[in-house]
Structure 1
Amino acid sequence: MPGQHRPTNAYLAGLIAEAEISHGALARMVNQLGRRPEHGSLDLRYDSSSVNRWLRGALPTPPAPTLIAAVLSHKLARTIDPGHLAGGDAFLELPANTDETVRAATGLWHQAAHRRDALRYPFVSQAGPQAGWRWAFGSADAAVIGRGTRGVGMSDVQRLRTARDDFADLDRRHGGGYARSWLTDFLDREVTPLLHGRYRDAVGTALFSIAANLTETVSYMAFDDGEHGLAQRLSIQSLALAKHSGDTAFGAYVMSNMAAQLVFLGDGRTAAQMARAAACSAGQVSGPLLARIYTTEARGHALAGDTRGCRNALAQAEHAMNTDGMAPAWLGASSFAHQAGSAMHCLHDLGLHTEAVRHSTAALDLPHDSIRARALHEIVLARVYLGLRDVDRSCETARPALHSALQLRSRRLRERLHEYASALAAHRKHPAAQAWRAEAREILAAA
């Protein structure tokens, strides 16, 4: 609300908003719970002003955090960890220097590895743009130096690069839910000791860069697995690692991924703005990376219904894709097929189905190991055919994607399949639609 300070404890603020209760109501519920004998028959007198203080970081002494967590756990039907409340949620902030960055990144990795049952963080819509602004305009430490006892060298960095390639391949072939726990364990066990080790600037810069890369890889896995709040926090910490390593190109890539998550969550306008900010802040980067960023911007414009903005961004993406320049090894989805799939999705969102189908051949011209990308493109094309009222061809196109759900641990794909099934309900009397929906019930239950 106007005139209010932005809460320091963004995690608590997000939980209160998700629970849809007022500050006064939360205070009353905490007071009532504290009066019960099992909690000590406490005479608590918290009010809405107390909650405002909690949001500014001044949580009361125990057992109040336990009572607050119990109230919110009841309202949200899941367990809220009081320890998270007491510390706020610093993982939504972009750390200011290398020491803070190491503490924040390794702390988040540790929580992700050891407290998976408590990692249902809310997605905070403005946290990404705010972190992006600090990435673009904030200062970075002049040197990346570790003063620990364990010596770290370029051989350690190369080992992490090899691991990153392996994890990225597992994600592409099997979905984000397949190897996410392995990668979080790897970050906690293998990368944390290196960041706390001894290294000088050249090694430190390379170490921060590959740590950013691995963190963004697990963030993308979390996004694909439906853990949007965790994915957001991981991306912000990846952005910080990239900033202090001086890797502007990778920072822009992280920004584009955060914008893509906003597209998936339905905030096209903010996504387009964030992708545009990434393009403006990226500096001199390769054509394929710039094309990826502009394509994400186009997706945001299309979702927001801005046809002109979408077409302009798609034209810029096409121009960038046709310029010279090698795609960085970490870029992933940067081929003409991925660009065509995104263009097809944009035109579908704008209701331009006849134009969208012209991109279908190129969109499905993917490498054999791009299993998830192919399935997602097939679902978009099936939606396009529904827009053209070709139900038979739509169901035929969606069937391979449905079967891919059996081998992919991707909540994103499953959600797209459920969306398609809902769209198909308008044609429920069509024999092809009836057959597809019956098959979908069986396969999605198994998946």
Structure 2
Amino acid sequence: MAVESKQISNTELERLIIESGLSNAALARHINLTGRSTYGLELRYDSSSVNRWLRGAVPAPPIPEIIAGVLTTRLHRQVPAGSLFADGDFLTVPSSPSQTVETATALWRRTVQRRDFLAYSFSTAASAQAGWWWVFSPPGTITGGARRSRIGQADLERLAADRETFAELDRRFGGGHARSWLADYLDQQVAPMLHGRYDDATGRALFAAAADLTHILGYMVFDSADHGLGQRYTIQALGLAHHAGNLALGAYIMSNLANQHVYLGDGATAAQLARAGATAAHGRAPAALIAQLHTTEARGHALAREPHACRAALHMAERALERARPEVNPAWLGAASPAHRHGAIMHSLHDLGDHTAANSYAEQALDLPADSSRARALHLILHARVLLGLGRVEESCATATRAHGMSAQLRSRRLGERFTEYTKALTPYAKVAAVIDWLALIRPTRTPLSRSPG
């Protein structure tokens, strides 16, 4: 499996283990013994567990404290628990559900404790590896934790209701508005539930809910242009969805991982990830999701300057849109409206330089749900770029001004960057009156649009 071949990333833990003279298996035995004698825990770690930690997985408390205690005794000096997993990178998906829980909850906890919103780099290789793992690895068997709290249907219903709240906040106000709230919610509310007691069916539903919420947070962080952290949330969400056995949700998360590569200009990887998601989910996912995967693939091909592949993917997307039935879509796919897909088609055609064809999708792309404020602003500024490509400068500036009028309530760096790109594209028309007016409008508000939340 791909996760087994990942090179060591936690070099600090590796250094301390070597210095202690313990083998990985011996360290695991000491951890199990200390867990039983000091904490009353029946632990079953082995050398493979230590290998996963060395490759970036982070165990849940109190395991870091136990490891630190073992190493402190062995080395005859204090080893702080907080230093052991400082360079775990959260870019791998552990093969078992329990390790996936440990790694995902550790990422939530670290985000809350350190507010590391800008601390991570983006890795193309990690996305490809996570996608390969999702397609080819079998889901694990979910078992509840040892805590007393019993998780039931009422808990799942509460998660579903809270999920709708966070998703709506993201759509209406941008990713920067509620990302800190959702990070706190995952750490304080969802993590204890994952460590609670539940049967297999409840566990799979709980894993799916946790995957969905983690994915929403990843999208919020992506919208805030913190791409490395957003990638890590998305990869951990993929692991949770995989072990939940929810293939369609995993494909949806894959589409948005691909979308992040689109935004960063890596069209080839984006197309591969989206195609993998569509292939795996074919016949087992709603048509609206298949359309999303194909439009994302098309955008990747357009960026990679592969017009034939792009148009083939667009054709498959439009066929899927014809079959789409919104009433059968799961809640997590609610925002994937036909207008969102038509916006992606318009963007693909714009990237190909076919502005006439792109413009023909503008009306459909703007037929968005009422609460999709960010998407509406993004589609408007895209349409402004399309109109500029057609030489309709005054109309383009008027359309961009409409988008700008919606930006006051949005905290979206992505939107701010789109305004910047549009403004640069206006350079050849600097003496046109409408352009002069636009520059006067945008200049005082550029900073608020681009700010990152504290």
Matches within 5 A, 1:34-45: none
- SS of alignment partner, residue 443 of structure 1: helix
1:144 touches 1:245 (CA, 8 Å); kept in 2?
A: no
1:57 touches 1:88 (CA, 8 Å); kept in 2?
A: no
Matched residue, 1:127: 126
Which amino acid is the alignment partner of residue 194 of structure 1? M
Matches within 5 A, 1:8-407: 8-9=8-9, 87-117=86-116, 119-283=118-282, 284-325=284-325, 326-407=328-409
Structure 1 residue 320: Cα displacement: 0.9
Which amino acid is the alignment partner of residue 394 of structure 2? D
Structure 1 residue 120: Cα displacement: 1.8
Q: Give the Cα–Cα distance (whole angstroms) in 1 for the partners of residues 55 and 279 of structure 2.
A: 35
Which amino acid is the alignment partner of residue 148 of structure 1? R
Structure 1 residue 227: Cα displacement: 1.1
Which amino acid is the alignment partner of residue 416 of structure 1? R
2:144 touches 2:195 (CA, 8 Å); kept in 1?
A: no
- SS of alignment partner, residue 91 of structure 1: coil
2:117 touches 2:229 (CA, 8 Å); kept in 1?
A: no
Which amino acid is the alignment partner of residue 303 of structure 2? L
Structure 1 residue 328: Cα displacement: 1.8
The Cα RMSD (Å) is 2.1
Moved more, 363-372 or 348-357: 363-372
Structure 1 residue 438: Cα displacement: 1.2
Structure 1 residue 154: Cα displacement: 1.3
Deviations 1:71-128 (A, max 9, x none): xxxxxxxxxxx96795433410011101101100110001111211464200011101
State the identity as a percent.
Answer: 49
Structure 1 residue 306: Cα displacement: 1.0
- SS of alignment partner, residue 124 of structure 2: coil
Q: Give the Cα–Cα distance (whole angstroms) in 1 for the partners of residues 10 and 270 of structure 2.
A: 21
Q: Give the Cα–Cα distance (whole angstroms) in 2 for the partners of residues 193 and 6 of structure 1.
A: 29
Deviations 1:107-152 (A, max 9, x none): 0001111211464200011101101111111122134433322111
Cα distance change on mapping 1:169 and 1:135 into 2, 3 Å: same
Which amino acid is the alignment partner of residue 341 of structure 1? G
Q: Give the Cα–Cα distance (whole angstroms) in 1 for the partners of residues 11 and 232 of structure 2.
A: 11
Deviations 1:207-255 (A, max 9, x none): 1110001000100000001111111001111111111110000000000
Q: Give the Cα–Cα distance (whole angstroms) in 1 for the partners of residues 442 and 115 of structure 2.
A: 30
- SS of alignment partner, residue 123 of structure 1: coil
Q: Give the Cα–Cα distance (whole angstroms) in 1 for the partners of residues 379 and 55 of structure 2.
A: 45
Q: Give the Cα–Cα distance (whole angstroms) in 2 for the partners of residues 289 and 6 of structure 1.
A: 31
Structure 1 residue 8: Cα displacement: 2.2
- SS of alignment partner, residue 147 of structure 1: coil
2:10 touches 2:87 (CA, 8 Å); kept in 1?
A: yes
1:146 touches 1:200 (CA, 8 Å); kept in 2?
A: no
Matched residue, 1:426: 428
2:290 touches 2:317 (CA, 8 Å); kept in 1?
A: yes
Structure 1 residue 445: Cα displacement: 3.4
Structure 1 residue 332: Cα displacement: 3.8
Q: Unmatched 5+ residue regions in structure 2?
A: 13-53, 57-80, 450-454
1:256 touches 1:293 (CA, 8 Å); kept in 2?
A: yes
Cα distance change on mapping 1:194 and 1:330 into 2, 3 Å: same
Q: Give the Cα–Cα distance (whole angstroms) in 2 for the partners of residues 185 and 311 of structure 1.
A: 42
1:8 touches 1:88 (CA, 8 Å); kept in 2?
A: no
Cα distance change on mapping 1:397 and 1:84 into 2, 3 Å: farther
2:234 touches 2:253 (CA, 8 Å); kept in 1?
A: yes
- SS of alignment partner, residue 206 of structure 1: helix
Cα distance change on mapping 1:109 and 1:391 into 2, 3 Å: same
Structure 1 residue 11: Cα displacement: 10
1:353 touches 1:388 (CA, 8 Å); kept in 2?
A: yes
1:143 touches 1:201 (CA, 8 Å); kept in 2?
A: yes
Q: Give the Cα–Cα distance (whole angstroms) in 2 for the partners of residues 305 and 379 of structure 1.
A: 22
The TM-score, its normalising length taken from structure 2, stands at: 0.80
Which amino acid is the alignment partner of residue 304 of structure 1? A
Q: Give the Cα–Cα distance (whole angstroms) in 1 for the partners of residues 444 and 105 of structure 2.
A: 41
1:10 touches 1:88 (CA, 8 Å); kept in 2?
A: yes
Cα distance change on mapping 1:392 and 1:183 into 2, 3 Å: same
1:93 touches 1:236 (CA, 8 Å); kept in 2?
A: yes
Deviations 1:55-75 (A, max 9, x none): x879xxxxxxxxxxxxxxxxx
Which amino acid is the alignment partner of residue 196 of structure 2? G
Structure 1 residue 316: Cα displacement: 0.6
Q: Give the Cα–Cα distance (whole angstroms) in 2 for the partners of residues 408 and 123 of structure 1.
A: 25
